Structure 1
Amino acid sequence: MALLAGLAGCGAEPPPPLPAITVDSDRIAVAGVSSGAIMAGQVHFAWSDRLRGAALLAGPPYGCAGGSLETALGPCMEAKPYLPDPKRLAARVRERAAAGQLAPLSGLAGDVVYVLHGRDDATVAPALAASVAGVYEALSGEAGGLRVETDTDRAFPHLLPTRDRGVDCTLGGEPWLGRCGFDAAGTMMAKLFGEPEAEAAADAAGELRRFDQAAFTPADADPVMADAGYLYLPPDCAAGATCGVLVAFHGCQQNADKVGEAFVRDAGFNRWADVHRVAVLYPQVRSSYLPLNPKACWDWWGYTGEAYDTRDGAQLRWLAAALSALGVAMP
């Protein structure tokens, strides 16, 4: 009840603007869970010339839905009646990169891609991890030094595993964080930013701030974003030190309007952000019936428009504007 009261009190006044920080342009990455994983992949392909990598947990491969909700719910989640073909999807990436709708493939050079999927996932088929990684692997010849790692041998359901936060790992469910004895966020950040020099503390020491998301809405499109997003600033970053940036995308029904601050506080990224000296941006989608997105998923099938998974997509343009305001040099 205290948490709900706190959220209600915060919602009584407009959220503050997103603060600018001093950004290390060589340490910017994305991570996501479920629909947030494919969103992170879409952002990575769109802006790989600005990012160092992506950590993708339990999501479908880039471009899988092809603008069709039916395809999204079938092959892209169940791997039925067929497993998405990564070579075909990679060919689409090449076409879009050549047309300037995505970053040049050279932007992937030297990047790290970590694909994590629990073998007990009954929502998004674990077999899809091979397709997610396969898209990148099919492009590796055009992106020297691209490193793709697949991690699919761990026993957990459709959630983000934590060391000790969330629900019983074997049961799963809301808020889709599970006490699995595996610190997935810490592993993701180690893959993206390098092995840490120290162990993370039990609790984050920095500041979790709300910010106004409406300020970055494109004039000609609705990205279906919530009024407020979150930014976590480690103490060093809040004090003005040069810091990296991780954009962490929640999954469906994992937005703050649905689960409160569970994802933005308890996923584990903030503890490790203190160690890696990385600010964490937590953008938030809102649920909607027009367009149809009642579970507040990120757009990976086209509810914001045909260009949803390119640089011209409403949510990708929103993110580019937000990152620019934060201090990331975006084209």
Structure 2
Amino acid sequence: MVQADAAATAWSADDLRLSGPVGRSAGARPAHDAGEATEVMHELRAVRGLIEQRFGALAFMEKLQREPRQARLAQRLLEQAFSPQLVRKLVAALPDDVDESAWAASVLERNLATGEADGALEDRGGVFALVGSTGVGKTTSTAKLAAAFATRHGASQLGLVTLDAYRLGAHEQLRAYGRILGVPVHTAHDRASLEDLLELLAGKRMVLIDTAGMAQRDARTRELLEMLSHRSIQRLLVVNAASQGETIEDVLVSYRAASCKGVILAKIDEAMKLAPAVDAVIRHQLPVLAVANGQRVPEDWHRLSSRALVQRALGSGG
């Protein structure tokens, strides 16, 4: 029977981030000297970080040469595109006398939250804003969630709002879905109008807010997040599961994933490997509340268990 010590194998997002000491000046310096010193310190820290990573990787590879079980596990995880940080964490905690693949799967499942205890997203109610970078499927995901909710609880209990004032045709796309459901779509152009709409729709069981699609490094992303800082709004981060790991990581950081209620994994049908997305949400400790695997509304909207997601990420699930 596969056993794993939860305390030894659980990790937090902080455990997986590199950090270094911040240099402090002993006294006041002229502005130009302070600027030069700061630049030098940044360069030194960057060099130090590279050296530590290189030597750490070398030591890790040398250890794997002496440990065939760890080497097999590392190879399988890396082939599926799990991050080196997570792979090293798992390999270091691998117990003796267990099947390494089954053990790794059980640990990943234990650390991947899916919000199952809270029920399906469409049954919870509340005000949800779907955010994410350009082209990840926010509007389609909004429509799928709206249709799933309306099917169970009635369209009269649903409110729809769009903030997407930057992309031509975005309003029409959501309004087309709204007409099918029999739900009017309201447009908010700023925080004040959004707050007015939320007050107007306060009697609805669920209110969904479709937001502007922006690149994660777009300066307007911060403005959008500030606009959505109303206390009643819960943010859902829509992530393109077909993206590379570095891109997903950048999105999670840019959209302040830690303050989001959870993640919707979109386009999983287009993902050659699901490991980068699963890896990222585990490290950031974000629950996967729903997945979308196509354009059909609402048929391509699902909840998957942690087991199903992990099995697919490991290349052993459909």
Query: What TM-score do you get using the length of structure 2 for normalisation?
Result: 0.39
| Structure holding more strand per residue | 1
Which one has a larger percent helix, Structure 1 or Structure 2?
2
